[in-house]
Structure 1
Amino acid sequence: MNIRETELPGIGKKYELITKNNDKVVIVIHDDGRREVYHFDDDDHEESISSVTFNDLESRQIAGILGGMAYKPKALETIEVAFNDLIIEWYKVEAGSKAVNQTIGEADIRNKYDVNVIAIMKKNADKMLSPGPETFIEAGDTLVFSGERHSLKKLILELLSRNAGGET
């Protein structure tokens, strides 16, 4: 993740974050303790699509939640045993990945990876439950899929991430 810090004289500090999935978030920390968080359009990092303002106490509570101090996820292994090693995962398809502009059938996800795509949250927020093999995969779509952990990791690495093929 790339983070850029900027001093805002008389206001506070600004932090610009670009995540691995190319999401842009800007956090402005005001000298009076307020925090503003802005989320930007995936296609236009100059266009803010949402924002929220927190006071100092709210900000600290959110930081604790994000940092895992308020809730520590249960060990996934206990859930996997209940489903005989089957897990459900979701992943946002990265621009430049091999899956972009292919259909689920063309990508042959079920046969090559032994993974089932059970839903897609399209970039425009449309939800597709039980998408068929003719459904196109686009950059920014979030795929919800099920399978065994090793199969899911292989699918993400080889087909859904920008560094498909193991490039780093």
Structure 2
Amino acid sequence: MDVREHDLPGVGKKFAVTTNDGDRLTIIIHNSGHREIYFFERGEDYPAYAVRMEDSEARKLGAILGGAFFQPVMAESMDVVFSQLSVEWMKTGSSSPLIGKSLLEARVRERTGASVIAILRSGKAIPNPHPEERIAADDTLMVVGDREQVGRFGDLLRGPGRDG
């Protein structure tokens, strides 16, 4: 990215920015604190879009762009995460020993290492269920963990001596 800085006497500073993809922006920071951002279409001399921001808005936008609110995971890191992560949808059979128990009472996380992150019940989703949420017959549970943890949860859901 190419950034060129220019003094604007009596106004503030101007930054002419060209991204690696060739997009052009001009940012003017006024002595009063407000900012103006201009976006130029390729090959055009006049801006296609302009945004005016107060100082506090510009600082918040800067924090967002700088990653203060969200840090994306790099692709290499995601490959490692997905190779170790297992997400399964498991249906509660009518004879499951977990029916009628809350997630807390069933000690799902403690016993298996897996987490129930959503429940589908009667066509409705219960995302991030509370530990007191009771498991019902015909629930579909979204379970996350590594493969072994999810496998242990499946065993727990089916009960001893049952194969699915």
Could you state the TM-score of these two structures normalised by the residue count of structure 2? 0.48
Query: Higher Cα Rg: structure 1 or 2?
Result: 2
Could you state the TM-score of these two structures normalised by the residue count of structure 1? 0.47
